[in-house]
């Protein structure tokens, strides 16, 4: 019976939603297969929420080592956890921290490491589904080691409450031998305020059709009305209208929100690669032949300068 | 100072995947292959350090078949790398990230590098693991996803992209870095330099040359799938943009239930 460990990421005591999504999926799997779901957290106590999403046990390590993220200390702590508790899978969200930590832990334990998964099945052994070529193709991967570290893409799994025992277990990694070499000196906040792209449930993106940097505010206003993140095509980023951190696509962020609204984006293959796994795609473009309409569920063939502000009004009305 | 840049040849981002039904194999024969776009940032950063310093040697290292040499010549040697090492071993055809990291570690340990640069990920497998694994296997610090790099005397300061901001990270050399867009603007090779690149050495090695048994893959690809097909696009038709917006909002709310 498989025991699934889920890394509960926190920064400043704030937990990442992908952690609860992973717990939900782990619970769905163990409900059928037996086994337990273990929440593992460094630097904060997630017990109350972890139990709500199905954690049978909650392992929490606290102390000075788990203030600001450090890959060497946190990696060693998670590796020690796996060595001691022997989970069958260690799930880590595919966030900036998770992408840093997963390969580190896997290399320490010399076990399989699978990035950015969107599906997990257990039938005596594990099958992990993940996109390659930025979503132009999917693969099923089977780990051959007893433990596999699997990165999970935010929003791949549905959040679902399912009570778990949430039994708190002591976990005291021994990090005395580690003198970290790479050290985070400070964290500088970016533009802030807005929802982060890869975690967002709704993304509104602007392309070259917005015509200039001053008009990106139209995209941001719609995003704000929806509680969404604001994205962009590479054309907009390369023109210097918005920062690269907004770029969606094969050489930008890969997103898979419930709703993706592409405004003035033609739908180049590299852009589609980064957003085609979105559950619902809306295209607003004045060219009826733009390839984006082939990828979209809903389309409006019109000038975005008319439709986007009107849609923003409608959303505000709907939410009001 | 000696810098290693670990690079990969990948299918062009324009590549269309021909796959109509699940298959145990993927036909890659028609792919046009180029340098992984993220690796270009690593190459550029190494060359910038070389140009700014004295006595800096830049070595491009890659694993792949003989056909990668054209990419290595054009996009690494012709833009300023001094030499290249190609590990060409058919036994690595099914290698996973862990196996490739083991091979690269063996290559890197044959010499002594102050900086080891990677792209954040390759745009074919999209794994983003190997640089971090190599750092761990070599016992070196790493900073992943960097958008700025400043070298000091035996130390470095890098900006690392995180959600909603960046971390400012310091580390001693030697260190491993993975390079993100924003770090620099990769240059293009000039025609004369492409011609001259042919003169620069490319060492060719196998696992046996490195004293390695072919490392076993820890994860195996079982099946390839095309992405789920989408239905027809429903066009919202209206004379007036305000009506179109109202109808779209209604559909998203009532039909798709996403807002
Ligand atoms: C190696 C490589 C990697 C790449 N990676 C990425 C990536 O990660 N992400 C990415 O996005 N691209 C990427 N690209 C670039 C990609 O090929 C396209 O060039 C880019 O996506 C185009 O951006 P766009 O759709 O905004 O611009 P365009 O293709 O110029 O499209 C603009 C669209 O806006 C519409 N429009 C104009 N005015 C209006 C209006 N008033 N109202 C409504 N619609 C209007 C037009 O009809 C058109 O369809 C990459 C390219 C390469 C070679």
CB distance A298–B234 less than 8 Å?
yes
Pick among 3.40.50.2000, 3.40.605.10, 3.20.20.70, 3.40.50.620: CATH of A4-170: 3.40.50.620
Question: pLDDT (tens digit, 9 = 90+) per residue, B49-71?
Answer: 999 999 999 999 999 999 999 99
CB distance B163–A95 less than 8 Å?
yes
The percent of residues in chain A predicted with pLDDT above 90, rounded, is: 94
Question: pLDDT (tens digit, 9 = 90+) per residue, B91-112?
Answer: 998 999 999 999 999 999 999 9
Query: What is the enclosing helix (H) or strand (E) of B168?
Result: strand B165-172
CB distance A294–B233 less than 8 Å?
yes
Residue A191, pLDDT > 80, answer no
A189 contacts in B (CB within 8 Å)?
164-165
Work out which ligand 1 atom sits closest to the CA atom of A250. 8
The number of beta carbons lying within 10 Å of the beta carbon of residue A320 is 6
In whole angstroms, how large is the CA radius of gyration of chain A?
A: 21
If you average pLDDT over every residue of chain A, what do you get? Answer: 96
Residue A112, pLDDT > 90, answer yes
The percent of residues in chain B predicted with pLDDT above 70, rounded, is: 100
Domains A4-170 and A197-318 share a fold: yes
Domain range summary for chain B, segments of one domain joined by +: 2-205, 229-259
- Two structure tokens written together for B136: 């761990």
- Cβ of residue B229 closer than 8 Å to a chain A Cβ: no
Mean pLDDT across the stretch B138-167? 97
| Chain B residue with the nearest C-alpha to that of A70 | B169
Q: What is the pLDDT of residue A320?
A: 84
How many whole angstroms separate alpha carbon B70 and alpha carbon A137? Answer: 27
Q: For residues B177-208, b (16+ Cβ closer than 10 Å) or e, as one string?
A: bbbbbbbbebeebeeebbeebeebebeebebe
Q: Is the CB of A286 under 6 A from ligand 1?
A: yes
CA–centroid distance, B109 to ligand 1, in Å, is: 43
Mean pLDDT across the stretch A221-249? 96
What is the C-alpha end-to-end distance of chain B, expressed in Å? 56
What is the C-alpha end-to-end distance of chain A, expressed in Å? 48
Question: pLDDT (tens digit, 9 = 90+) per residue, A76-110?
Answer: 999 999 999 999 999 999 999 999 999 999 999 99
Mean pLDDT across the stretch A281-309? 97
Q: Which of B97, B160, B241 sits opposite A113 (nearest CB)?
A: B97
Question: pLDDT (tens digit, 9 = 90+) per residue, A45-74?
Answer: 999 999 999 999 999 999 999 999 999 999
- Two structure tokens written together for B105: 């570690």
Which ipTM was obtained for this model?
A: 0.96
Residues A119, A156: contact at Cβ < 8 Å?
yes
- Cβ of residue B117 closer than 8 Å to a chain A Cβ: no
**Nearest by Cα to A107 from B155, B166, B176, B88:** B176
Please name the residues between 132 and 171 in chain B that touch chain A, using a CB distance below 8 Å.
Answer: 132-133, 135-137, 140-145, 147, 157, 160-171
Mean pLDDT across the stretch A152-180? 94
B32 contacts in A (CB within 8 Å)?
none
- Two structure tokens written together for A250: 């094969």
Residues A117, A150: contact at Cβ < 8 Å?
yes
CB distance B219–A138 less than 8 Å?
no
If you average pLDDT over every residue of chain B, what do you get? Answer: 96
Residue A262, pLDDT > 70, answer yes
Q: Whose CA is nearest to atom 16 of ligand 1?
A: A268
Q: What is the pLDDT of residue B124?
A: 95
- Cβ of residue B242 closer than 8 Å to a chain A Cβ: yes
Q: What is the pLDDT of residue A192?
A: 62
Strand stretches in chain A, DSSP E: 4-8, 10-11, 14-15, 37-42, 57-61, 89-93, 112-117, 119-122, 126-132, 137-143, 148-152, 167-170, 183-189, 202-206, 229-232, 259-263, 280-285, 298-301
Question: pLDDT (tens digit, 9 = 90+) per residue, B33-48?
Answer: 999 999 999 999 999 9
Q: What is the pLDDT of residue A111?
A: 98
Residue A286, pLDDT > 80, answer yes
Q: Is the CB of A301 under 6 A from ligand 1?
A: no
Q: Does domain B2-205 have CATH number 3.40.50.970?
A: no
Q: What is the pLDDT of residue B125?
A: 95
Q: What is the pLDDT of residue A190?
A: 81
How many whole angstroms separate alpha carbon A232 and alpha carbon A188? Answer: 22
Rounded to the nearest 5 degrees, what angle is found at the Cα of A137, between the Cα atoms of A133 and A139? Answer: 105
Q: Whose CA is nearest to atom 53 of ligand 1?
A: B13
- Is A151 in a helix, a strand, or coil? strand
Q: What is the pLDDT of residue B208?
A: 96
| Chain B residue with the nearest C-alpha to that of A227 | B259
A99 contacts in B (CB within 8 Å)?
128, 144-145
Burial class (CB within 10 angstroms; exposed 0-12, middle 13-18, buried 19+) of A187: middle
Interface test with A, best of B252, B253, B257 (most A CBs within 10 A): B252
Confidence label for B192 from pLDDT (cuts 50, 70 and 90): very high
Interface A–B counts its CB contacts (< 8 A) at 262
Phi, psi of B104 (to 5 degrees): -60, -40
Mean pLDDT across the stretch A121-140? 95
Q: Is the CB of A231 under 6 A from ligand 1?
A: no
Residues B215, B102: contact at Cβ < 8 Å?
yes
| Chain A residue with the nearest C-alpha to that of B122 | A133
**Count of positions (residues) in chain B:** 259
- Cβ of residue A17 closer than 8 Å to a chain B Cβ: no
Structural class in CATH, domain A197-318: alpha beta
**Nearest by Cα to A93 from A26, A33, A21:** A21
CB distance A247–B242 less than 8 Å?
no
The percent of residues in chain A predicted with pLDDT above 70, rounded, is: 99
CA dihedral (B224, B230, B231, B232) in degrees, to 10, reads -120
Interface test with B, best of A113, A150, A305 (most B CBs within 10 A): A113
Residue A193, pLDDT > 70, answer no
Give the distance from residue B246's alpha carbon to the nearest chain A alpha carbon, in angstroms: 6
Kindly give, in sequence order, each residue whose CB lies less than 8 Å from that of residue B30, ignoring residues fewer than 6 positions away: B18
Domain range summary for chain A, segments of one domain joined by +: 4-170, 197-318
| Chain A residue with the nearest C-alpha to that of B169 | A184
Omega within 30 of 0 (cis) for the link into B174: yes
Mean pLDDT across the stretch A266-280? 95
Question: pLDDT (tens digit, 9 = 90+) per residue, A15-45?
Answer: 999 999 999 999 999 999 999 999 999 999 9
CB distance B233–A131 less than 8 Å?
no
DSSP state, residue A103: H
- Cβ of residue B65 closer than 8 Å to a chain A Cβ: no
How many whole angstroms separate alpha carbon B179 and alpha carbon B121? Answer: 9
B227 contacts in A (CB within 8 Å)?
131, 135-138, 276-277
């Amino acid at each position: 019976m498989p025991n699934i460990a889920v890394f509960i990421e926190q920064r400043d005591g704030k937990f990442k939603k992908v952690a609860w999504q992973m717990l939900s999926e782990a619970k769905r799997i163990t409900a059928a297969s037996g086994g337990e779901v273990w929440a593992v957290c460094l630097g904060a106590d997630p017990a109350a929420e972890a139990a709500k999403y199905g954690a049978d046990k909650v392992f929490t390590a606290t102390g000075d080592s788990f203030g600001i993220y450090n890959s060497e200390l946190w990696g060693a702590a998670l590796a020690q956890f796996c060595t001691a508790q022997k989970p069958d899978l260690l799930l880590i969200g595919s966030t900036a921290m998770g992408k840093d930590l997963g390969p580190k832990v896997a290399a320490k334990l010399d076990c399989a490491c699978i990035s950015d998964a969107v599906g997990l099945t257990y039938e005596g052994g594990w099958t992990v589904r993940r996109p390659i070529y930025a979503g132009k193709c999917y693969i099923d991967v089977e780990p051959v080691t007893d433990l596999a570290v699997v990165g999970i893409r935010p929003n791949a799994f549905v959040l679902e409450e399912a009570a778990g025992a949430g039994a708190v277990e002591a976990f005291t990694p021994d990090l005395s031998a580690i003198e970290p070499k790479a050290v985070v000196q400070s964290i500088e906040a970016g533009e802030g305020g807005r929802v982060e792209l890869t975690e967002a449930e709704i993304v509104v993106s602007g392309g070259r059709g917005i015509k200039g940097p001053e008009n990106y505010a139209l995209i941001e206003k719609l995003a704000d009305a929806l509680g969404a993140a604001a994205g962009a095509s590479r054309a907009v980023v390369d023109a210097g209208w918005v920062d690269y951190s907004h770029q969606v696509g094969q050489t930008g962020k890969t997103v898979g929100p419930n709703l993706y609204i592409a405004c003035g984006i033609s739908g180049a293959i590299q852009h589609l690669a980064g957003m085609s796994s979105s559950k619902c795609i809306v295209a607003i473009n004045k060219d009826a032949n733009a390839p984006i309409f082939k990828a979209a569920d809903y389309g409006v063939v019109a000038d975005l300068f008319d439709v986007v502000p009107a849609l923003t009004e409608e959303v505000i009305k709907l939410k009001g | 100072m000696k810098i290693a840049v670990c690079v990969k040849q990948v299918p062009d981002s324009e590549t269309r995947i021909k796959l109509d039904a699940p298959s145990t194999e993927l036909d890659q024969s028609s792919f046009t292959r180029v340098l992984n776009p993220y690796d270009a940032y690593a190459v550029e950063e190494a060359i910038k350090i070389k140009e700014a310093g004295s006595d800096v040697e830049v070595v491009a290292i890659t694993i792949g078949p003989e056909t990668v040499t054209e990419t290595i010549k054009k996009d690494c040697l012709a833009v300023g790398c001094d030499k290249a090492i190609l590990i060409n071993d058919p036994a690595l055809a099914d290698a996973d990230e862990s196996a490739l990291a083991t091979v690269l570690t063996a290559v890197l340990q044959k010499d002594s590098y102050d900086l080891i640069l990677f792209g954040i990920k390759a745009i074919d497998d999209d794994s983003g693991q190997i640089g971090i694994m190599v750092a761990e296997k070599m016992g070196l610090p790493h900073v992943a996803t960097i958008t700025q790099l400043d070298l000091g005397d035996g130390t470095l300061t890098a900006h690392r992209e995180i959600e909603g901001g960046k971390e400012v990270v310091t580390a001693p050399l030697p260190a491993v870095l993975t390079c993100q867009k924003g770090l620099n603007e990769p240059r293009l090779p000039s025609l004369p330099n492409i011609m001259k690149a042919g003169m620069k050495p490319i060492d060719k090695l196998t696992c046996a040359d490195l004293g390695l048994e072919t490392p076993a893959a820890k994860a195996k690809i079982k099946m390839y799938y095309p992405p789920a097909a989408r239905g027809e696009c429903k066009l919202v038709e209206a004379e007036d943009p305000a009506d179109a917006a109202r109808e779209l909002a209604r559909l998203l709310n009532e039909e798709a239930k996403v807002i």
